[in-house]
A and B are shown apart, each in its own frame.
Chain A
Amino acid sequence: MPILDTRDITKQFGGLIAVNQISMTVNKNEIVGIIGPNGAGKTSFINALTGIYKPSSGQVHFKGKEITGLPAYKIAKHGISRTFQNLRVFSNISVLENVMIGAHCRIDNPFHHIFLRPFRSKRIEHQAYEKVIVLLKNVGLEEKKESLAKNLSYGEQRILEICRALASDPELLILDEPCAGMNSAEMDTLADFVKKLRDEGQTIVVIEHNMRFMMAVSDRIIVMTEGAKFREGTPAEIRNDLEVQKVYLGEQEVE
């Protein structure tokens, strides 16, 4: 059974149909790539999945449960975690606190316990801290745990954002243009990292423009244009599809 199953997701803004009846599935332990030209509705689709927008129609099922239209924080608790196209780390606080916030919904520390069971509360917080440290070590940010997020390099901030998303133990990780603004060396490191996550059992959906990156990491690619699903296939199939090339490179046939 697929871990994520969307049926005819549509998102309208007034007269504009940003996402038009998209159905897709994501299986466990798979990297699904979503590509498409600017304005194809990729990010809108992801926003409708993660509760930032409410879909106008259609359903989202996650692990067999319907999560359509739930608020974002509840969807995060269900186990979908994401990053953003335009980098949204918490800039003025430390790297450590950023990732601790990512773990927020997995820290089982009810408010009254702070006062009524202070030792349990402290222990739970400390356990979360130790888990976060391990995570930071894995991505090589442990030494910078006390630096403010805004003082990190751009590539490191991208990694930090992924790390923050991973801190919530997501069953599905969604990366929205993770390579934006990266140089090719950083991009290769990121590709290796994403593949490593998949090998460790993580399920991932990636939106990205960069074809080299997408061909390298994706197990399956979905092409979107004008809000609708256009093609779906393996990276090789997509690469050799003339229609896709036309959509991607524009109508530039020689007469």
Chain B
Amino acid sequence: MLTGFFESKQGKWLLLGGLTVCLLLVPKFVTDIYILSILNMMIIYSILCMGLNLILGFTGLLSLGHAAFFGIGAYTTAILMTRYGFGFLSAFFASAVLAMLAGIVIALPTRKVRGDYFCLITLAFGEIFRLVATAWIEFTRGAMGIVRIPMPKIFGIPIVTETHFYYLGLGILIFTYLTLKAITDTRYGRAFIAIREDELAADTMGINTSLYKIMAFSIGCLFAGMAGSFLAVYQTVVTPSNFRLEESCLMIIMVIVGGMGRNLLAPLAGVVVLTVATEVFRSTAEYRMLIIGLIMILVLLLRPQGIFGSSSFKS
């Protein structure tokens, strides 16, 4: 009976409201800086994975370069704030827009190339971004990264402590969720799913598949840009090593383990599981990836649709 209630519309919103209140109250009970910093990293990955889910889970495009859009957001904020005296909000906005524009440019070839080839383009773009960030020393300071990114201020309120960042991040996360929810509840969300399911059939249903693929991809990148901007002010340092292929793969694993598709919050389960696993096994250094791989294999064997996924869609 209880599950029935939580599946109704009011029940769902009540559940989400309750969850939000709990999340808002977390810093009241958790004062440990280390735990808060892990929560903040989870928030960053959650924003990234929600965006990636739109690309991968809804539209079925495999992007191996999501970290590059994350990086574009981070570098934009870092450069604008350290060198051009931008405030956080304007830099944040610019980061999101720039990441989205980059997303549009990268997604343009989907008009001609499909599937595996598109995946290779994103892979190449991710590597190009990392190499440029490493090699263009005058602009990005190379491997040293951009340091001393100023403390962000929002309407005059300085964001300093882990708790402040927690609330800022949570705000961005909730914004991400509500925006994606609004989009995916309309014909646009359904069109993305139709493309994943059968592109030719989607086309004959009157869906401009090229346009919608670009839309889904660039919206996903927009949120990656926001996450990047947040990362820049949170870490106060950005280096190319934040945006390697491993990061892109980790995001994909998080989305798959959590569950792709309709349920926008499902990927967050993957974020929690993998972030906790990464922290717990931090001491094992290189073997960490081995353990992450193992977790993924186990989840895929036991629950192919992901922890909270509704249905596995590769039959």
Contact = CB atoms under 8 A, between A and B. Distances in A.
Interface of A: 50-52, 71-73, 75-77, 81-82, 84, 88-93, 97, 100-107, 109, 111, 114-115, 118, 121, 125, 128, 148, 150, 164, 168
B182 to A, nearest CB: 5
Contact of A92 (B185, B205, B215, B313): B313
Determine which residue in B185, B186, B208 has the highest number of CB atoms from chain A within 10 A of its CB, and name it. B186
Interface stretch (B192-200, B248-256, B290-298): B192-200
Given A76-B205, A104-B187, 16 more contacts: A73-B205, A73-B206, A73-B208, A77-B206, A84-B201, A91-B197, A92-B311, A92-B312, A101-B191, A101-B193, A101-B205, A102-B205, A104-B205, A105-B205, A105-B206, A125-B185
A215 to B, nearest CB: 28
Given A52-B200, A76-B204, A109 B186 contact: yes
B204 A118 contact: no
Interface string B162-204: 0000000000000000010011011110110110011011111
Given A52-B204, A101-B205, A104-B206, A114 B197 contact: no
Determine which residue in A84, A104, A115 has the highest number of CB atoms from chain B within 10 A of its CB, and name it. A104
B187 A90 contact: no
Interface string B92-122: 0000000000000000000000000000000
B309 to A, nearest CB: 11
B207 interface: yes
Nearest to A114: B182
A126 B190 CA distance: 14
B201 A88 contact: yes
15 contacts: A51-B204, A52-B200, A71-B203, A71-B208, A73-B203, A77-B206, A100-B187, A104-B205, A109-B186, A111-B188, A114-B182, A115-B179, A125-B185, A125-B186, A150-B315
Q: Kindly list the 8 A-B residue pairs having the minimum CB-CB distance in the complex, ordered from nearest.
A: A105-B206, A76-B206, A90-B197, A92-B313, A88-B201, A72-B203, A101-B194, A107-B187
Contacts of A72: 200, 203-204
Contacts of B183: 114
B311 A104 contact: no
A51 B311 CA distance: 32
B190 A104 contact: yes
A90 B315 contact: no
Interface of B: 179, 182-183, 185-188, 190-191, 193-194, 197-198, 200-209, 215, 311-313, 315
Nearest to A148: B311
Nearest to B208: A73
Contacts of B312: 92
Contacts of B186: 107, 109, 114, 121, 125
Contacts of A115: 179, 182
Contacts of A75: 204
A43 to B, nearest CB: 13
B264 to A, nearest CB: 15
Contact of B198 (A81, A90, A102, A109): A90
Given A90-B198, A92-B311, A97 B190 contact: yes
A105 B208 CA distance: 10
A77 B203 CA distance: 11
Contact of B315 (A91, A105, A106, A114): A91
A76 B205 CA distance: 6
